[in-house]
Chain A
Amino acid sequence: MNVHFAWILELSVKSAVNNPGIEGPFLRAITVYRVASLAYAAVLLARHGGYAHPVAGWLVIGVMAVWTAAAAFAYPAAGVPRRPLLALDLLVALACLFATPYVEGPGQGGAGGLPVPATWVAGPVLAWAVHGGRRAGAVAAAAVAATDLWLRVRTPGAAVPGNGAVLLFLAGVVVGHVARLAREAEARMQRAVEMEAAQRERERIARDIHDSVLQVLALVQRRGRRLGGEAAELGRLAGEQEAALRELISSRPAPSGAADLRTLLMRYGSELITVSTPATPLVLPARVAEETAAAVGAALDNVRRHCGPGARAWVFAESGDATITVTVRDEGPGIPEGRLERALADGRLGVAQSIRGRVAGLGGAVVITSAPSAGTEVEITVPAPTGGAGGRERS
């Protein structure tokens, strides 16, 4: 019995695991198991000449066949209440077991130690395990094994092997466990699918915003500037909102731990500040990217402070060999020679500390080029992980 039981079980579980989806494949596997077990029980009965009472024996096989067919349809059906069905399933199996002493008669031990339904009684155990998990599987296995053992103990001269009971327990617990794992996997898959749908929806909204709100904001900015006065102020505000909203809808989640420096730099873009970057991502470790962007922000603050609130500035980011360089340029009055050094010596650390300090901490370098009336260029170079220059394909 043990070998056959294990073989039929393995066949059935394989057919479940190889199928996608969760409940359906398990139910199909149980049906496969029941059909195979039914055939096995019929063969056993025929080989033993129908035991003591052939008519009753074939009647039991008939009941089993009917129930196998009924269960095959009832389990996958949507309208059938599960608990009564599971209870009935177990009762039918137990009833077939109870018929064993009568059918097999006094010579029960001669039939290979198997009851009339043989391995078929494990069907409800598997069904309970699939629906209720490990515990339900164990309970059903206990019911079937206890009935089987009780019948054997009552029958004089019958063998009382424990292997069948152990295998039933194993089947109930293992299948219950696997079914639970599979259900969890399905839930995770479901979440992933939902997240993907949410991402698609986000992209659709981004397109809509682009086609409507952003266009209007850009137009308000454009017309406002031309009308002048208060309208120009409104236009400027609209322009800022346009830039912020555009940034928001175009940002994509970067790979964990890494960031695209372009996204951080684009935030500085405005009517006065032009940001130029490659079309390929400038990938840096997240902390390095944030610190670099902060250093650029400090340089831009400096432009505002020294060249007035209406000063233009240009931010240009490019990738080099294992480095990324960001240049901040203005056309202000420039820094008189030696002033930075004097400031450092005087303990007024302003630019020197906030920019040089940040960048030095990243293993990078800052070069400040300035001449009176020719503006200032702050060139920030930070090391990039190789491949940071990036393939466009990865974006």
Chain B
Amino acid sequence: MKEDELISKARDGSMQAFGEIVDIYSPVVRKFAFQLGNRYEEIDDITQEVFVRVYRFLDQFSQAKFTTWLYKITLNVTRDFSRKQKRQLSKVLKFKKEPKPAAVLVEEKLLRNEEDKLLHFCIQKLDEKYRIPIILFYFHGKKYEEIGDILGLSLANVKTRLLRGKENLKKMLADAEKREGKFHG
């Protein structure tokens, strides 16, 4: 079934069609959510929330390409989740809490290669305005126009951000590798 047929059926209340939408697009959402820097253990909750919002606003979805809309919703859900993480426990409690080792372990398993791991963490440290275009361009094969649609940017802006993002990333990566002394030391 074509994308627009599926959406139309889901909009009419077909859970089977909505289930197919989940099958087709959930890997994209999961991957994008992880690349945006969410903890692996949060990915399931984020994916669920994304599809709940897709369902909630399916009636209002019209001209735009579905995937563009999906990326936008994933970004919004991620922003909501990241606000949660900003809770400053130390400000509230008089004692320190242990860091959570579990999340690190999962990511260690997902990215076994040291180079991949370092690059992943450097991307997370990039400013959001550079990070998201890089993720969409390099990991999701999105063209400049589509990135512009997702982020509400002009073509020129997308190109500039990609260029600056790459420059920043190269610098961060070089600094990180220097510090770790693993690859160039």
Question: A and B, one complex?
Answer: no
Residues of B with Cβ closer than 8 Å to A?
none
